[in-house]
Chains A and B, each alone.
Chain A
Amino acid sequence: MRRSPLRLSVAALALAALLPVQARGDSDAGTGDSNSTVRYGWSLIRHALHLDAQDQVVSHSISLSTSEATLELELSNGRIRTISLRSGHVLVDGRQVGDFAKGGALDRGWRRLLESGAALTTRDLLTSLQSWRVPTLAGTDQAAKSQLDVALRGLDAVATRAPSSAAALSQRVSIPAPSADTSVVAAAAPAVPDEAPTAPAAEVEAAPTAAAQPSTLDAVFNDVRNIVAVFIACAMLGFGAVFFGRRHLEIVADTATHSFGRSFVVGLLGQLLLLPTFAMLMVGLVLTLVGILLVPFAAVAYLAAALVALAGGYLAVAHAVGETFTRRRMAHGAFVRAPNAYGYLFTGLVGLLGLWAAAALTGWMGPVVLVFKIAAMMVTWLAMTTGFGAVLLSRAGLRETFTGRRTGEMSGEYLWTTPPATPTAARMNMDQK
């Protein structure tokens, strides 16, 4: 909406005129500070000039007790406008905006209004508020009435729509500006034409529909955001694994690399046997009297171990993928600044999650995304299964049997320059024996 310079000037002038009034009110009440005064004054001016959108009231609640008379108006944006006369103070949304005389004309009038409004619909109640006048007001009561009028201004009641008449246009009731003779704000600010807009029902309908169906861009953004979140989570887990258990992770990764097929088969069988093993474990524990006590702990430990094995295996495969890719690049002469486990893991995760990212970015293209999604799911399952198998084969990174690493004593062809006195491992063992 384009705001004219005249409007802004009027707003500035009104703000300047309001400040002393509000400050005086606060000092009288002994509460508030200058910042809140400025904010509140500005909000009043925005209301007065209709710079805010019209608030639509969807429901109301009237609460009466000996010490309090409160009106709550639930707005369509979820906020609740609370107007309360309590303990001699007028409160709007919990903030004191004035005082009133207990048992005075304003107090009695407000209570009578709310009592009669209890039987009304929300729309009729707003109409009743619109026509509310208290003729004999003076002093603090008059100022408080003005604040009540301001608080009620700019509120619309959305007409109720039963299903049978859903197609009909909404009829809304607008509360016009309070009369100038009872409004301090209106006296302080120059008169501005009341141009309360009346939106057609189509606008009211369109908002929730648009909110319920996010745009394609939003959907793509959400998918990408999820992928990035998963990547960050995996990277953090992986970096933690490298930091605290680098040797084990590398052994699992090497097992997956050098015994890929074996790892996959073992992982597949391991996945199939997860549940039967769990059931057997539980049954075995239950059959032993002492074991029954361990059942909950064993169940939690088993599930935790299985999850750690699956996640660790996936990270190890990511490490293996990253290492293989990096070494091939280096073999082709590319310069890699720091070829270490962190870099391998990062690269591998980028590779493994790349298909998911591609699926997220092509979500708007329709059926094409299915290809990427299926490919991503298969790659993820393959990596997880192979990693799980590698974890099992390497005994969680403790056994190097399938890593392809050379261990033990060197063969003779490598030892031809070694002096006879060189203590090899075998000889040392023999000597110790």
Chain B
Amino acid sequence: MSGRALLLVTVAALGCNHSPRVNPAWRTVTAAQGLRGEHEATVNVQYGAGRFHLTPGTGDELYRMQLRYDENSFTPVREYDPATQTLHLGVKGRSGGIRVRSRHGDAPPSMDLALTPSIPLTLILEMGAVEADVDLGGLALHRATFRTGASSSHLRFARPNTAECEELTIEAGAAELHAEQLANSNCARVNFNGGVGEVTLDYSGTWRRSMTADVNVGVGSLKLKLPRSVGVSVHLNRFLASFDAAGFEKRGDTYVTSNFESAKNRLEMNVNASIGGVDVEWVNP
């Protein structure tokens, strides 16, 4: 588990409390910004606690965001630097930490974000204790990073990435994470670093190029959904972790599918698993 994810988990765990004395003052903020001739942009989203939802937006708006937050505890962040074409969105705690106060029956804080599919993006999503539903399909992603702390996250590429992506990095602390249709990401490299949790990495979708993947799992279960038509090799390094090798041939330390040499697209994985199990499910693309 990376240091940053651990920090997010710690902050979220320490910060989450229920204070009966101060009632939350809910505020809804809607913000939008049109495109001004940008050719690319870097988007950095930091969201500590609540529900997070990301989808592709319309072509002529850089972003559209709707926030619901407790203004006693948070302030919204909405900064755009036109010189570097960098956008910062999210909320930050007023006292520096993350405090979630809610009464029974209140809707949780939330953030709904739509990003432009018209220009290439470098996307950095940093989530704390968040229930995230992220659909990056249809965006033009150059590079993407998704970090999450103690959360339940669904990350998917419902449609193919319209740009060539160098790298997708997913870091999860203590999390339940399902990453679906990763082939649509069109990334040359897909990395995953997980601490504790239940993780599903689904490599289905439209394959347009070969991929490499570094998968590091601490404690927990890892399910790999691999398409049959893709040549897959798994270099496995495990400690007290099981591996379901059905469909693979073992060549030294590496498990290889029979079609690895002949396949048009290949997936080369380095898997490090400590305690838990690595399950493989074969799917049709």
A residues apposed to B, CB below 8 Å: 58-68, 72, 74, 117-119, 121-123, 157-164, 166, 205, 208
| A-B CB contact pairs (8 Å), 22 listed | A59-B34, A61-B78, A62-B30, A62-B31, A64-B27, A65-B27, A65-B28, A65-B71, A118-B30, A121-B60, A121-B61, A123-B34, A159-B34, A160-B35, A160-B60, A161-B36, A162-B59, A162-B60, A162-B118, A162-B119, A163-B37, A164-B118
- Chain B at the A interface: mostly helix, strand, loop or mixed? strand
Given contacts A161-B36, A162-B118, contact A63 B29 (CB under 8 A): yes
Considering the chains assembled together, what is the distance between the CA atoms of A300 and B61 in angstroms?
Answer: 51
- Is there an interface contact between A61 and B36, defined as CB atoms closer than 8 Å? no
Contacting A at CB under 8 A, from B1-53, are 25-39
The residue from B28, B34, B35 contacting A63, defined by CB atoms under 8 A apart: B28
- Chain B: minimal CB distance from A170 (Å): 9
Considering the chains assembled together, what is the distance between the CA atoms of A158 and B66 in angstroms?
Answer: 22
Contact size range, B: 20 to 34
Question: Tally of A-B residue pairs with Cβ under 8 A?
Answer: 76
- Is there an interface contact between B80 and A65, defined as CB atoms closer than 8 Å? no
Q: List the A side residues contacting B82 at CB < 8 Å.
A: 208
- Chain A at the B interface: mostly helix, strand, loop or mixed? mixed
- Is there an interface contact between A59 and B60, defined as CB atoms closer than 8 Å? no
- Is there an interface contact between B31 and A59, defined as CB atoms closer than 8 Å? yes
Residue in chain B with minimal CB distance to A62: B30
- Is there an interface contact between A158 and B29, defined as CB atoms closer than 8 Å? no
B residues apposed to A, CB below 8 Å: 25-39, 59-61, 66, 71, 78, 80, 82, 118-119
The residue from B26, B27, B30, B36 contacting A160, defined by CB atoms under 8 A apart: B36
Considering the chains assembled together, what is the distance between the CA atoms of A121 and B32 in angstroms?
Answer: 7
- Is there an interface contact between A118 and B118, defined as CB atoms closer than 8 Å? no
- Chain A: minimal CB distance from B254 (Å): 42
Given contacts A65-B71, A121-B60, contact A163 B30 (CB under 8 A): no
- Is there an interface contact between A61 and B31, defined as CB atoms closer than 8 Å? yes
- Is there an interface contact between A61 and B30, defined as CB atoms closer than 8 Å? yes
The residue from A65, A72, A119, A160 contacting B34, defined by CB atoms under 8 A apart: A160
- Is there an interface contact between A58 and B34, defined as CB atoms closer than 8 Å? yes
Q: List the B side residues contacting A208 at CB < 8 Å.
A: 82
- Chain A: minimal CB distance from B63 (Å): 9
- Chain A: minimal CB distance from B30 (Å): 4
Residue in chain A with minimal CB distance to B58: A121
Considering the chains assembled together, what is the distance between the CA atoms of A208 and B38 in angstroms?
Answer: 12
The residue from B28, B33, B39 contacting A58, defined by CB atoms under 8 A apart: B33
- Chain B: minimal CB distance from A129 (Å): 14
Considering the chains assembled together, what is the distance between the CA atoms of A62 and B65 in angstroms?
Answer: 10
Q: List the B side residues contacting A157 at CB < 8 Å.
A: 34
